[in-house]
Structure 1
Amino acid sequence: MTSIIDKRLVLIITCLTAFTTPFLSTSVNIALPTINAEFAVPDQALLNWLVTSYLLVSAIFVVPFGRIADRYGLKKVFVTGLFVIVVSSALCAISGSIFMLIAFRAIEGIGAAMIFGTSMAILTSAYPQKERGKVLGIYMAVTYAGLSLGPSLGGFIIHFGSWRLIYAGIAVYALLVALLAVRKLADERSAAEKGQFDLPGTVLYGAVLVSLILGLSSLQEMLGIALFGLSLVLMAVFFGWELRQANPVLKVSVFRKNTVFMFSNLAALINYSAIGAVPFMLSLYLQKIYGLDALTTGLIMIVQTVLMVAFSPTAGKLSDRLEPRIVASAGMAICAIGLVLFAMISPETPLWLVVTSLIFMGIGVAFFSSPNTNAIMSSVAKSDFAVASSMVSTMRMIGGILGLGIANLIFTYFMGHTEIPATGPYDLLMKSIQVAFAVMAGLCIIGVGLSLARGNLRKAEVTPIAHAIKKS
């Protein structure tokens, strides 16, 4: 994959999949009322599992499949993931009950995990380090486009057809991408060490993720606190096990010996936690307190996404010229400014100030995400590209859930377990939103410090070369 044509084909194929997986994550949200009506769902919690099953399974399997890909080949796992998406999406389209649909959505999550764990690794392998920021920026832009177009395009399909057409369309789309990948992606032999696969570590990792995600999603309840505590205990057991393994499912040594990789992932976790609940809180503010309808609210909120899509390639390209930590830290600081402005909103805040805050957020996320991903992917050896790619996706998923968990905890503290009233007054809701935004701004400020603390990527790259020259 060294020629210009080959590199561009790799970029096209990985970007096509970068649209698919986030689209599958968000498009189902708009279909929930229609699915509820068709299947006469007996328990509303089952509808939540349509979303949760996909995200939970993706989070559990992304690191193990990244490790498998590092050992046995990126293309094999990537293409298999696409075909899993094809089959599971087709089964979703013909589901006869809510339980079948949840099960097939979980299988979709397995396919998504295979893609999450390999797509950025394939892209990083195809491009030299001096061009990675640019192409990863394009990749991130397409990812954000998939996230934002999921509800709107899904709504369009449902309006003129059926929710089943969403899954049928994805099945056809993924099949075409899979066939293109089979023909055009080069087979790469893994450079990773061979040995027995760490099945106990994989099971432990899955248990950590299940308890952590379920706990974070319900922190305002005792069960959620208990699950979160259990996840911390299991995490300690997991890391203890991994440190003793010759072929661990998660190479903890990469975190211990590589400060750029460790702090870049921590910065990503904090950034995604800080921005994860912004759509939820801003939607409540604009509709409940400001009195706007859902369509107008959506049009206002898309400002952030448009800027994320527009500036991600530029930010990624800039990180090829400057130290990624400088660009990413600046992006995190811009996010903090946007969140501070959000923390100051009130029922009397002019709409232009809300839009200004969204502009800060959109530019800030773009200038953080692409350079930070570039730092993560470029800080490890080629044999660890898939694990690095997996960690990027894991930080994004856990961060988003953690942000929502923190927001729900704050809302529960001020409002109790009561539902948000259909009509005002909304004093407690406004207070909850302000405090939540302030906490998120504080997280971003901490994140700036972690982002700066990672050290210089260029220096980290030169050091191994210097050692090699010294030995020779």
Structure 2
Amino acid sequence: MQFASKKNYALIIAVIASFITPFVGSSINVALPSIASEFHINAILLSWIPTSYLLSLAVFLVPFGRIADIWGRKRIFTYGITIFTIASFISIFSVSGEMLIILRIFQGLGSAMIFGNLFAIIASVFPEKERGRAFGITIVGVFLGLFLGPVLGGILTQYFGWRSIFLFNVPIGVISIISVLRLKGEWAYAKGEKFDIIGSIILGITLILIMYGFSILPDIYGGILILAGFIGFLTFIMVEKRIESPVIDINIFKNRSFTSNNIAAFINYSSAMSIIFLLSLYLQYIKDFNPQDAGLILSVQPICMTVFSPFAGNLSDKMAPEKVASVGMGIASLGLITFSVINENTSVGVIVLGLILIGIGFALFSSPNTNAVISSIEEKQYGVASATLSTMRVMGQMFGMGITMLVLALLFGNTDIAGGNNRLFLESSKIIFAIFAFLSFIGVFLSLVKNK
């Protein structure tokens, strides 16, 4: 009975925490015009409000995953949700754009401590045969956060002001803190090992260079930063091979299942970012839908993801999770192929069909992919594995938008998308969807890789 109670608390914590992290990332975008108007800040400074959060999240994910393995996953998770909640509360009283950006960095820090340990805690509490279902339920929170973020963010901003978005996070954070404190037990399977500060700093700088580089493509400085980031990554590998207790044991990547399924997750999330962005423009510029109707059509995808994720997780407990994830990636690639041939005359029914295919595909991929990654390594590495997977997802999102912006810039140049250039926009969209359809097809085979 006590074990069942522990699992229930773990699931409550997981769903709330998995919701709050993507919610705070997506909801703030709707409020940016209101924030800019109040603080009178320019576009560059405004862009740092969402970017600072993502960069902070990516930089701290792996280090805090490792710290959690050493000092305790529940402890670091509790610190994370506390920091996140306090930063959200203080954000309500922001008096400048600079102050808000600093608080967003602290939100990203807290989110890294939360999300870097989330799947590791689930894996520690649930036996292997029940993990898939638990991961599936947890990922429902992620999809709900991504879906409800812009919707709730828009409603809160319109009726209560942008500060209400941060106020909304506070009670959710308090509930999470209470729940995690009631969760019995602690997991620190690498207790006593040293923390690698040098490797963590090199990794952090590397991720900043690569992510920021992708965010400013196709500017030449973007390419330079990305190249510098890859040099930093090679340096990181050489340093980690010589350290007794590295932040990431490079040997973990010799695990074929771990490495290939992380790459598959990177591909999956890179395509996810471009879909909503491009289809939102397509429905409004090409099909003349208003924003509300376009949003309703686009909601088909996250609804399918929410409905099918628990089923997919449960299925991955009964058969090889790699196979379920591979089928999911295959179905998603069919949806992307559908969008790679759209034109002015494509019916809404075809768009909805493509969204259904991608929604089901992503659902079948996400929790089985998580199950495959976590189940492929030793228990003492769960924290690092969970954080690495989360990093792949964040990096994938930045890569996806970087590729999308690069293609649009090459075809459009300085031409306004809204200036009646339907042909150029459709050509660009087809190329982008074809690129991600091809990558997803490769992901089908990457998901099938198992250790021999």
TM norm. shorter chain > 0.5: yes
After TM superposition, the score normalised by the length of structure 1 is 0.94
Q: What is aligned with 2:220? A: 222
Question: Which string of whole-angstrom CA distances, capped at 9 and with x for unpartnered residues, describes residues 403-427 of structure 1?
Answer: 111111111121113332x341421
Cα distance in 2 for residues equivalent to 1:177 and 1:450: 35
**Residue 2 of structure 1, CA deviation:** 6.5
Residues 288 and 185 (structure 1 numbering): CA distance in 2 closer, same or farther, change over 3 Å? Answer: same
Identify the residue that residue 338 of structure 1 maps to in structure 2.
335
Structure 2 unaligned blocks of 5 or more? none
Q: Residue 447 of structure 2: SS of its match in structure 1? A: helix
User: What's 2:200 paired with?
Assistant: 202
Asked if the contact 1:332/1:368 (under 8 Å) is kept, the reply is yes
Question: Would you say how many aligned residue pairs link Structure 1 and Structure 2?
Answer: 452
Partners of 1:377 and 1:124 lie apart in 2 by 7
Structure 2 CA distance for aligned equivalents of residues 2 and 275 of structure 1: 39
* Alpha-carbon distance in structure 2 between the residues aligned to 1:8 and 1:197: 32
Q: What does residue 76 of structure 1 align with?
A: 75
Map residues 210-249 of structure 1 onto 2, 5 A cutoff: 210-249=208-247
Partner of 1:250: 248
Give the Cα separation in 1 of the matches to 2:103 and 2:11: 29
SS in 2 for 1:277: helix
AA at the equivalent of 1:324: P
* Residues 25-424 of structure 1: pairs in structure 2 closer than 5 A: 25-41=25-41, 43-182=42-181, 184-192=182-190, 194-256=192-254, 258-420=255-417, 422-424=418-420
Matched-pair contact (CA < 8 Å) for 2:214–2:399: yes
Cα distance, 1:241–1:312 mapped onto 2, change above 3 Å:
same
Q: 1:10-35: per-residue Cα shift (whole Å, max 9, x none)? A: 11112111111111101101111111
> Retained in 2: the 8 A contact 1:75–1:186?
no
Question: Which piece of structure 1 moves more, 326-335 or 11-20?
Answer: 11-20
Deviations 1:370-414 (A, max 9, x none): 100010111111111111110121111000110111111111121
Which secondary structure does the structure 1 equivalent of 2:243 belong to?
Answer: coil
Alpha-carbon shift at residue 169 of structure 1 (Å):
2.3
Give, in whole Å, the separation in 1 of the partners of 2:156 and 2:191.
46
Deviation (angstroms), 1:195 = 3.5
4+ residue stretches of structure 1 with deviation over 3 A?
A: none
Structure 2: which amino acid aligns with 1:455? K
- SS state of the match for residue 190, structure 1? coil
Aligned mates of 2:108, 2:222 — CA distance in 1: 23
Does the aligned pair in 1 maintain the 2:124–2:187 contact within 8 Å? no
Instruction: Summarize deviations over 1:348-368 as a string: whole Å, max 9, x none.
Output: 111100110000000000001
Mapped to 2, the partners of 1:116 and 1:451 lie a distance apart of 22
Counterparts of 1:149 and 1:51 in 2: how far apart (Å)?
Answer: 17
1:429 matched residue in structure 2: 425
Q: Tell me how far apart the structure 2 counterparts of residues 362 and 384 of structure 1 sit (CA, whole Å).
A: 31
Cα separation, 1, equivalents of 2:105 and 2:322: 36
Query: d(CA) in 2 for partners of 1:218 and 1:301?
Result: 26
Percent identity at matched positions? 40
SS for the counterpart of 2:299 is: helix
- Alignment match, 2:450: 455
RMSD: 1.3
Q: Which moved further from structure 2: 155-164 or 312-321?
A: 155-164
1:100 partner amino acid: M
1:120-166 per-position Cα deviation (integer Å, ceiling 9, x unaligned): 11111110000000010000011110111011112222222121122
Aligned residue type for 1:275: A
The answer to which of 101-110 and 409-418 deviates more is: 409-418
- SS of residue matched to 1:3: helix
| Residues 229-284 of structure 1 deviation map (CA, whole Å, 9 limit, x = unaligned) | 1011001000111111111011211111x111111101111111222211111111
Cα offset, 1:290, TM superposition: 1.4
User: In 2, distance between residues paired with 1:428 and 1:161?
Assistant: 39
Q: Distance in 2 between matches of 1:2 and 1:271?
A: 37
> Structure 2: how far apart are the matches of 1:397 and 1:189?
25
Cα distance in 1, alignment partners of residues 302 and 195 from structure 2: 40
**TM-score (structure 2 length as normaliser):** 0.98
**How many Å apart are 1:193 and its aligned residue?**
5.1
Distance in 2, matches of 1:2 and 1:221, equals 57
Partner SS state of residue 197, structure 1: coil
- Code of the aligned partner of 2:105: A
CA distance in 2, matches of 1:191, 1:326: 29
Distance across 1 between alignment mates of 2:349 and 2:175: 43
Aligned with 1:95: secondary structure?
A: coil
With over 3 angstroms needed to count, the CA separation of the structure-2 counterparts of 1:129 and 1:189, relative to structure 1, is closer
Task: Give the whole-Å Cα distance in 1 for the aligned partners of 2:420 and 2:267.
Answer: 33
Deviations 1:316-343 (A, max 9, x none): 1101111111111000000110000000
